[in-house]
Structure formats: structure tokens, C-alpha cells
Amino acid sequence: MKVTIDDRAGFCWGVVRTVDIAEETLNQADDNRSNTYILGHIIHNPKEIKRLENKGLQTITHEQLDDIAKNDKNAKVIIRAHGEPPATYKRTEELGLNVIDATCPLVTNLQNRVKKYHQLGYQIIIFGKKEHAEVIGLRGVCNDECIVIKTLSEAEQITDFNRQTVFMSQTTMDKHVFRQVKSYLDSKINDLIDLGEIENKLIGRDTTCRAVTSREEPLMKFADSNDVMIFVSGKNSSNGKSLYNSCLKVNPNSYFIEDIGEIDWSWFDNADTVGISGATSTPQWYMEKVKQTIEDKFN
């Protein structure tokens, strides 16, 4: 059996940057590694989270910030790639905590756009998951004065377009659904313009991450070229779910796993070739481990 790892799989540059910042901070800490914290899971992958925790990185919640400020004067608190709302920065400053900002630059850019349009008085519609860490940050920069939707049916519930409206996306959402929703909103607003009810057109900004969307087409070719496709990802990864669905479109023998223990060996019956890929938060070292496990079983 031939087992191949997708050569385009692995961390996106934003995740690489965040993990590098975390490891550099841990290395600088020397014997005080217990003083290095990250606010929320660094990425949506439990294997990489565990690896960094073994190096001394402690994952904390917002509720723990007060205790850390009181009990650990040498604490370093890392802001993860998903970003945080302004209230978090204000609170950490009030507490006198040493904050290291590892927010993905794409997320920072999106936050700045949302903030700008909010200051201009636009109605802001965000395509995303309301309680996703990235969207919580976006809601924070506009005082939570925005509409968050994740489906076309939710878009159809919006009826008030009396203000100029801008439509943007959480960076890790499915670009195809984003375009479907944008097309609907364009059509809805254009109909209202034709009726003379409003004058302003929709401003649409495709802010989905190119590091994710550029993987879709080559991933589908890779999945189609193998008898069986194993997609490795954290279950909470938005881009992982999106990319896995892309595999399913071309190869019904595609399977999603977070852990090697989830593999069902009957998946490989009559298979000569197996492909392995993953989300932008899936570490290369774990895909290599999956590959070795499958090879040891069949070769």
C-alpha cells in the first residue's frame, strides 16, 4: 500500500508565526517556563496544544487573569492567532500583565476594517460563527453592533437595509457559502434600489483566508488521486471541516480523524493508495505519525 502525505498540508504561515512566538517565549523563560500563558487554546488542534503544554505553555481563560496578575509577577500572556476584543487588552493593561500579541496579521487587518466601517456608521454583517474566538474579537471592535450569520437562511432574515451595508467574513469560513450569501444580499439590495426604497449598494469584502482557500483545488485533486483519503484535524477547526468537505466532494472514501485511535481499518479494504492531509492547524509531525501507523499495519 502506498501512503502519501499531501505536500501542501501543514501549518499556514499565520499558525507558524503564532507557534514560533510561543516557543520563542518559552525558550526565553528558561527555568520559569511555568510563567508563560496563552489566553485560550493556541490553535484548534489538541495534539499541538499538548506538545506545547509539555514544553511549559499553560492555557488559561479570561477568568484566570486576575489570579495570575496577583500571584505571578513574571507572567507573560500570549494573545493567540484568533485575536481578542479591545476589552481584553484594556483588562490586561489594568492588571499590569506582560502581553505578547500573536494575533494573525490577517485577523488584525479584518479587525481594522470592521472598526473603520463601524466608525463610518455602516451596518456590518459578518459571515461567521458568533461564539468563535475570531468573531468575538470582531464583535468587540464594533461594540457588538453587527449582525453575525453563518447560513443563507440566516441572511434571509435580515430585512433592514436603510443604512449603507458592508459584508465581510470570518477568515476561516467556506468561501463558496460566503459567495452564495453575498449573491443573495446583492440581489436583495438591488431589488430594494429598483423599488426606490434605498439608494446604497452592498459593499462586499471577501476576507476569507487565502492560505485556506488556495488549498481547496489542489486538495481535491490529491483526494481524487487516492483510493482512500484520511483527513487529520482538530474537531473544532473551522477550516478543517471546510477542507474535509472538499475531499468528500471528489472522494466518498474520505475520513476525518482527530486521533489515530479513531481509524477504522476496514476503511482500507481493497485500497492500494492512501492520501493524508489536514487543516492549516494540523502539525506535520502528527500526519507523519498517522502515515507511519498505516504503513506499519499494512506493509
Residues 135 and 173 sit within 8 Å (Cβ to Cβ): no
Which residue in the list 134, 197, 199, 216 is annotated as catalytic? 134
Contacts 24+ apart (CB under 8 A), 265-271: 265/297, 267/228, 268/1, 268/228, 268/294, 268/298, 270/227, 271/1, 271/227, 271/228
- Is residue 167 within 8 A of residue 123, CB to CB? The reply is no
Active site residue 48: no
In 3D space, the residue among 127, 140, 130 whose CA is nearest the CA of residue 172 turns out to be: 127
How far is Cα 74 from Cα 217, in angstroms, rounded to an integer? 46
Element (H, E) at 29: helix 13-29
Tally the C-alpha atoms within 13 A of residue 123's C-alpha that lie toward its C-beta: 16
Catalytic residues: 134
